[in-house]
């Protein structure tokens, strides 16, 4: 029995195979120990992403996070301003509301997170947005402390047959680590 190549397993997991190809892959996985083990590794990576909270979140995700009882601080930011934030030791999450956006008729919103000194850190061409409130939500997490501090968010609003409109938010971050537990 020949084995499935790794690229095919990734395509299967990301739904980029035809239904017939997917069925063939599934039939093979049920019969082949080695490919089943390899598929498990792809699934573990995919699972890590599903459990990962990306920088840009939806309003529904924010509601779900609020419902978990996490220590959250929320702040509003307007385009063009430079406003520093401190991730205090007792916090588990900060939510940055990038407000003041005209999102009427937006097809998609593209978020770029960059460091003024180190360049692009994160790029999300399909960032969730709240058209009614005119805002994009950023879930700032403690492990982002490993990133540079001089953070800038560029939000590009894409509409049909029009060039994207950009809003920029410069938000330098300071992370204060929690006190070590005794």
Q: How wide is the angle at C-alpha 11 spanned by C-alphas 10 and 16, nearest 5°? A: 155
Tell me which of 2, 18, 19, 50 binds other proteins, using CB under 8 A. 50
Helix axes 19-31, 33-50, angle to 10 degrees: 120
31-39, 89-97, 131-139, 160-168 -> range binding other proteins (CB under 8 A): 31-39
Cβ proximity of 150 and 115 under 8 Å: yes
Based on CB atoms, which residue is closest to other proteins, 49 or 69? 49
d(CA 38, CA 56): 31
Tell me which of 80, 105, 125, 178 binds other proteins, using CB under 8 A. 125
Tell me which of 10, 72, 131, 170 binds other proteins, using CB under 8 A. 10
The reply to whether 13 sits near other proteins by the rule CB under 8 A is yes
Tell me which of 3, 14, 78, 105 binds other proteins, using CB under 8 A. 14
Residue window 83-122: x/- pattern of binding to other proteins, with contact defined by CB under 8 A: -------------------------x-x---------xxx
d(CA 108, CA 157): 6
Tell me which of 34, 53, 88, 104 binds other proteins, using CB under 8 A. 53
Cβ proximity of 152 and 115 under 8 Å: yes
The reply to whether 43 sits near other proteins by the rule CB under 8 A is yes
The reply to whether 40 sits near other proteins by the rule CB under 8 A is yes
Tell me which of 3, 41, 133, 166 binds other proteins, using CB under 8 A. 41
d(CA 63, CA 78): 22
Rounded to a whole number of angstroms, the minimum distance from the CB of residue 76 to other proteins is: 25
- Strands 72-77 and 93-98, bridge-based pairing: parallel
Cβ proximity of 66 and 72 under 8 Å: yes
d(CA 170, CA 64): 27
Rounded to a whole number of angstroms, the minimum distance from the CB of residue 47 to other proteins is: 7
Taking alpha carbons only, the member of 175, 124, 118, 171 closest to residue 146 is 175
Residues 138-157 that bind other proteins (CB under 8 A): 141, 143-144, 146-147
């Amino acid at each position: 029995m020949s084995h499935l190549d790794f690229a095919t397993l990734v395509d299967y997991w990301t739904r980029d195979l035809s239904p017939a190809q997917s069925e063939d892959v599934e039939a093979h996985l049920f019969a082949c120990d080695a490919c089943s083990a390899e598929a498990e590794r792809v699934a573990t990576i995919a699972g890590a992403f599903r459990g990962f909270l990306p920088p840009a979140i939806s309003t529904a995700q924010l509601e779900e996070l609020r419902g978990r009882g996490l220590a959250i601080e929320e702040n509003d930011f307007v385009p063009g301003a430079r406003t520093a934030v401190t991730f205090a030791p007792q916090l588990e999450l900060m939510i940055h509301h990038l407000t003041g956006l005209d999102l009427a008729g937006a097809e998609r919103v593209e978020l770029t997170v960059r460091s003024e000194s180190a360049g692009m850190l994160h790029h999300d061409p399909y960032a969730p947005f709240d058209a009614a409130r005119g805002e994009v939500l950023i879930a700032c997490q403690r492990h982002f402390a490993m990133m540079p501090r001089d953070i800038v968010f560029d939000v590009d609003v894409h509409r049909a047959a029009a060039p994207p409109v950009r809003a920029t938010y410069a938000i330098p971050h300071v992370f204060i680590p929690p006190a070590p537990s005794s």
